[in-house]
Amino acid sequence: MPRESRYLEFALAVCREAGAILREARNKGDVVVDGKPGFELVTNADVAVALHFRQRIASTYPDHAMLSEESHGGIKVGTAPCWIVDPLDGTANFVHGQDHVAVSAALSLEGEVVLGVVHAPFHGQTFWAIRGNGAHRDGQTIKASSLTDIRRALIATGFPHVRTNVDALVDRLKPLLSAFGDIRRLAAPALDICWVADGRLTGFVDRIHLWDAAAAGLIATEAGARLAAFGPSHEDAPADGVDYVVSAPGIFDRLVATVTGRSGV
């Protein structure tokens, strides 16, 4: 079995195990909520899933590193194998009993993401891709939308957890509202990007982190979507992340120009 296929089997298994941890925590009502700066939440479920990933990776691939939302201090993605994990994508949704929640894991080899898995435990769906082999939802190949009319486009976006400049946030939304068909704020970036890959959304615009984008971004591009990140590298990124645009190819240039003032790349 090729190396990437073995890694994929591992990632699929651990993401589904993590999803089971989240379902059990919700079913038991055993969710303890803490806060980060601004409006960001963290729960005991985030921590439990991150620990589960760390233990499974350490026992199966002891020479691999792990970069996670809950434990990223001092870890950088270099040439050594590194798992990039978001243990709970959509924490506020999870806390409020909403189902738009995911677990995300990507593997970087030689500095390049070679596979990604995004598991949505409350939807019962798993998205995955190996670089160069297309994108999949469970057993089905998926493709990004072929839409070219921006007036019919459905764009997902997000709001920052630290909202010290609400006027700038509103100003960013105005051109999207003026030009594109409609906007959604679904609040789970990795799953949002997978929905672009699956044609359920036409585009995604937000300032996010590497653990949000690593797996989902590969899935989207393998599904034929286009992706661009604007700003410094993730190692040098500010605390609130890097600006991403992911969309169906037929609206990508217009979406990039609308939100950044730049031509598509």
For residue 51, the one-letter residue type is L
For residue 35, the one-letter residue type is G
Domain 3-142: CATH superfamily, name plus number: Fructose-1,6-Bisphosphatase, subunit A, domain 1 (3.30.540.10)
* The model's pTM: 0.91
Give the C-alpha separation, 176 to 196, whole Å: 17
Would you kindly state where each structural domain of the chain is located, as residue ranges?
3-142, 150-260
pLDDT of residue 158: 86
Strand 203-208: give its sheet, edge to edge: 182-184, 154-157, 203-208, 242-247, 226-230
pLDDT of residue 194: 98
* Residue 97 falls in which region: left (phi positive, over 0), alpha (psi -120 to 50) or beta: left
Tens place of pLDDT per residue across the chain (265 aa) = 578 899 999 999 999 999 999 999 999 887 878 755 544 567 889 999 999 999 999 999 999 999 997 665 445 666 789 999 999 999 999 999 999 999 999 999 999 999 999 999 999 999 999 999 999 999 899 999 999 999 999 999 987 655 566 677 778 889 999 999 999 999 999 999 999 999 999 999 999 999 999 999 999 999 999 999 987 665 655 566 899 999 999 999 999 999 887 655 5
Identify the CATH number of the domain defined by range 150-260.
3.40.190.80
pLDDT of residue 172: 81
